[in-house]
Structure 1
Amino acid sequence: MNYIAVFVAALAGFGVGAVWYGVFGKAWLDALGKSEDDIKGSGAAQALPFVTGLVADLVMAIMLAGLMGHLGNISIHGGLITGLFVWVGFVITTMGVNHAFSRASPKLTAIDGGHWLAVLLVMGAIIGAIGV
């Protein structure tokens, strides 16, 4: 496995999240039904979601690279298609069920789901470009 590709893809995925929620942060809070004060923590509690997100992006990049390696279509196009299929088959379906049972706003599902689609597409393109 090309750990440089995985590491770059994970960092890029984390960056996508920073940009995504920078743009959609207020709409996301509204869809969540919370204010900035509601989600603020202090010290380690404030850092924990970011650490969790970075670790999750790293695991996701490793799994995506492994899947792409098994499929054998190591290209930008192959990475985009694999990222899309993973999102449709696993991510948005799981989120849709969880959000439906928790009675979350469809707007929340769209914002969070769009984020993960963007992350998987960027990761897939990077891994496809650099190689596995």
Structure 2
Amino acid sequence: MEVLNVFAAALGAFVLGSVWYMVLAEPWMQASGVPRGPDGKPEGGINPGIFAMSFVLQLVVAGMMRHVFALSGLDTPGAGLVAGIGVGLFLISPWIALNNLYAMRPFRLSLIDGGYATLACAAMGLILTLF
């Protein structure tokens, strides 16, 4: 049953990411410096393998969050939500900002990507504790 929880949590975060980056596509592309063609879309298109790998990586995050939650005795949706926010806001987002800082990327990119990480981890934490 825990495998299904992890899968559902990763799927929820993946869907949330689809919406997040569709809404913020233009500011994200500007901040990240993605090369674009004359039509304004990324040059060369997007490789479907990126989506598959991003889902696999979200499975890894959801699996580790489930493990940490189990060790910590977190089992209510409220606790899962708060813990997920904490993971995203205080672990993943600072690391994203650190990488972007050294890559000399705009702070706006850290806000967009860190915002998604925080929301996705919050969703994962909530979903992991609903079952």
Higher helix share: 1
**Is the 2:80–2:126 contact (alpha carbons within 8 Å) kept by the matching residues of 1?**
yes
Match of 1:32 in 2: 32
Q: Which has the higher contact order (CA 8 A, sep 6+)?
A: 1
1:34-82 per-position Cα deviation (integer Å, ceiling 9, x unaligned): 23233624xxxx1121011100111111111111001102111111121
Match of 1:94 in 2: 95
Deviation at residue 5 of structure 1 after TM alignment: 1.0
SS of the aligned residue for 1:129 comes to coil
Structure 1 residues 69 and 82 mapped into 2: Cα distance closer, same or farther (>3 Å)?
A: same
Aligned length: 126
Whole-Å Cα distance in 2 between the matches of residues 15 and 73 of structure 1? 24
Match of 1:23 in 2: 23
Match of 2:110 in 1: 109
Match of 2:73 in 1: 72
One-letter identity of the residue aligned with 1:8? A
Structure 1 residues 104 and 12 mapped into 2: Cα distance closer, same or farther (>3 Å)?
A: same
CA RMSD of aligned residues (A): 1.4
One-letter identity of the residue aligned with 1:3? V
- Normalised by the length of structure 1, the TM-score is 0.89
Match of 2:125 in 1: 124
Moved more, 84-93 or 120-129: 84-93
Whole-Å Cα distance in 2 between the matches of residues 114 and 94 of structure 1? 12
1:89-121 per-position Cα deviation (integer Å, ceiling 9, x unaligned): 321121111111111111111111111111100
Whole-Å Cα distance in 2 between the matches of residues 58 and 39 of structure 1? 27
Deviation at residue 27 of structure 1 after TM alignment: 1.0
Match of 1:52 in 2: 53
Moved more, 31-40 or 72-81: 31-40
Moved more, 62-71 or 88-97: 88-97
Structure 1 residue ranges (4+ consecutive) displaced by more than 6 angstroms after TM superposition = none
